[in-house]
Amino acid sequence: MRSKKEIFDLILSIAKKDARVRAVVLNGSRANPNISPDIFQDFDIAFLVDNLKSIVEDKNWHKQFGEILIMQTPETMNDPPPDNNGKFTYLLLFT
C-alpha cells in the first residue's frame, strides 16, 4: 500500500506536469481538521483544469495514478449525460 506522502507526491507531480491543471484541491475528511485520521480515509481530490473536454476524452489520463480496481464516472450513467456546468467526476479505487 502506498503511503500518504507517496500519494500526495503523485497527485502534485501529475498536476505540475500537465499544463491543463490550474489547481488541485483536497476535499473531504483529510481536509477537515475536526476529523481524526484513520486507516479508512480516502483521498478526495479536485483537479481544476482549463480544458476539461481534453481530459475526459483522454481515456488514459486517470491511469497515471495507478492500477485501477474500480472506476465510475457518474456523468456517463445517464442518457443523455447531464451538462454539469463544466464538471466531470471520476470515482476511482486503486489496487
- The CATH number linked to 90 is 3.30.460.10
Q: Model confidence over 12-65: pLDDT tens digits? A: 999 999 999 999 999 999 999 999 999 989 999 999 999 999 999 999 999 999
Q: For residues 53-81, give the mean pLDDT.
A: 89
pLDDT at position 49? 95
Q: Where are the alpha helices (DSSP H) in 1-95?
A: 4-17, 52-57
Look at the chain and report how many structural domains it folds into: 1
pLDDT at position 95? 83
Give the number of residues written for the chain: 95
Report the C-alpha gap between 55 and 76 in whole angstroms.
Answer: 14
Q: What is the pTM of this model?
A: 0.85
Q: Which domain holds residue 50?
A: 4-94
Report the C-alpha gap between 39 and 1 in whole angstroms.
Answer: 11
Q: Which of 12, 87, 90 is nearest to 52 (CA)?
A: 87
Positive or negative torsion for Cα 29, 35, 37, 40:
negative
